[in-house]
Amino acid sequence: MDSAVQSAKRSGRRRVGRPSQQVLSRKKIIETALRLLDAHGQDGFGMRDIAAELGVRASALYNHVEGKEDIFRGIRELIGERISGEMFETDPWDVALVAWAREYRDAFAAHPPTIALLAVMPLHPESSVSLAYDRVIRSLAAEGWSRDEALNILVSLESFILGSALDAAAAPDMMDPGPRADVPEFSAAYAARAVLVERTATPPADLAFETGLRLILNGLRAERAERSGRRRPDRSGVPGEPASGPAPEAQDSADPSEDAPRTAQARPVPSSGYSSAS
């Protein structure tokens, strides 16, 4: 038993006379767990640590949560509430997508230790996160993407968002190349960005996030414009990209056999499939 657990136990014992049941709630347990996770990472975050923090016995927690897995689920819900995607109900798809991406990144950047954990955690069947996904997909489908494409777009955007949240958790000078003569372009770029950061009072991570968001949105707009024109560029070999694309109006691909054929090649040739916008 390590000293953290021992001190947690002692702390739990010391306060055992308090009317702990009355102050305990699922919400309080999960908020406490998130605070511990932020402060100490995964290590300071056992059931006993949480109990000690709340001044109760670990067994009391089980009246409100099933265990650590359940607490993780609760943390995801807590963060997920901040990125419900409600703007998709009212705003144009692209305005909503940008606003949602920013909220999403900010929600995770506020809790760096959750990023890698929750990025690989399966969705719970009752998760409110699914409601947000439903909104995103409905919005994209209404603009002409098939639902499976919309899901690929959603997941790729999430990857960008979570990677950007990690970047936001890094030190602002993380990429400083230091004094060296063999990387002149990189050194010049780093110096130029430092001036930009200073002038715009915008952290490096925010500059990069907004740049990537702009590129992804412009990429989406280019695809949408191309579809509205009903041109059919050669994208054979690009997985996830229908050779016979959807109509510009929303298309139901709940039966995805509709938009066959697709090719079975796992990785496209780089020089084809990326050229729609030029």
Sites for a copy of itself among residues 51-90 (CB under 8 A): none
Q: Give residues 96-115 in contact with a copy of itself (rule: CB under 8 A).
A: 98-99, 102, 112, 115
Q: By the 8 A CB rule, do 272 and 234 touch?
A: yes
Which residue in 46, 55, 239, 248 binds a copy of itself (CB under 8 A)? 239
Enumerate residues 162-191 that contact a copy of itself by CB under 8 A. Answer: 162-164, 166-167, 169-171, 173-180, 182-186, 188-191
Whichever of 31 and 210 has its CB closer to a copy of itself, that residue is 210
Which listed residue (7, 211, 234, 244) binds a copy of itself by CB under 8 A?
A: 211
Please, which of residues 135-154 interact with a copy of itself by CB under 8 A?
137-138, 141, 146-153
What would the x/- binding string for a copy of itself be over residues 218 to 237, using CB under 8 A?
xxxxxxxx------------
CA dist 277 and 39 (Å) reads 45
CB of 50 to a copy of itself, least distance (A): 19
Query: Which pairs count as long-range contacts for 175-183, CB under 8 Å and 24+ apart, including other chains?
Result: 175/204
| Number of residues counted as binding a copy of itself (CB under 8 A) | 122
Q: Is 217 in the site for a copy of itself (CB under 8 A)?
A: yes
Query: Smallest distance from the beta carbon of 203 to a copy of itself, in angstroms?
Result: 9
Q: Out of 24, 56, 79, 238, point to the residue binding a copy of itself (CB under 8 A).
A: 238
Write the single-letter amino acid at 82.
R
In the numeric block, which tokens belong to residue 130? 């699914």
Kindly state the tokens that stand for 129: 């996160």
Which of 61/101 has CB closer to a copy of itself? 101
The single residue among 17, 19, 90, 120 that binds a copy of itself, judged by CB under 8 A, is 120
Which residues, 8 to 47, sit near a copy of itself by CB under 8 A?
Answer: 43
Least CB distance from residue 230 to a copy of itself, whole Å? 15
Q: Give the contacts of 54 (CB within 8 A, at least 6 positions apart).
A: 20, 23, 24, 28, 29, 32, 61
∠ CA 177-178-182, nearest 5°, is 70
Question: What end-to-end distance do the CA atoms of the chain give, in Å?
Answer: 62
Residue of 44, 55, 212, 248 interacting with a copy of itself (CB under 8 A): 212
Q: How far is residue 136's CA from residue 157's CA, in Å, rounded to a whole number?
A: 11
DSSP codes of every residue in 207-276: HHHHHHHHHHHHHHHHHHHHHHTT-----TT-TTS-SSPPPSS----SSGGGG------SS--TTSSS-T
Nearer to a copy of itself, 61 or 253 (CB): 253
Give the shortest CB-263-to-a copy of itself separation in angstroms.
7
Residue 268 binds to a copy of itself (criterion: CB under 8 A): yes
Angle between helices 204-228 and 184-200 (to 10 degrees): 90
Nearest approach in angstroms of CB 155 to a copy of itself is: 4
What's the min distance (Å) between Cβ of 253 and a copy of itself?
5
Sign of CA dihedral 174, 179, 184, 188: positive
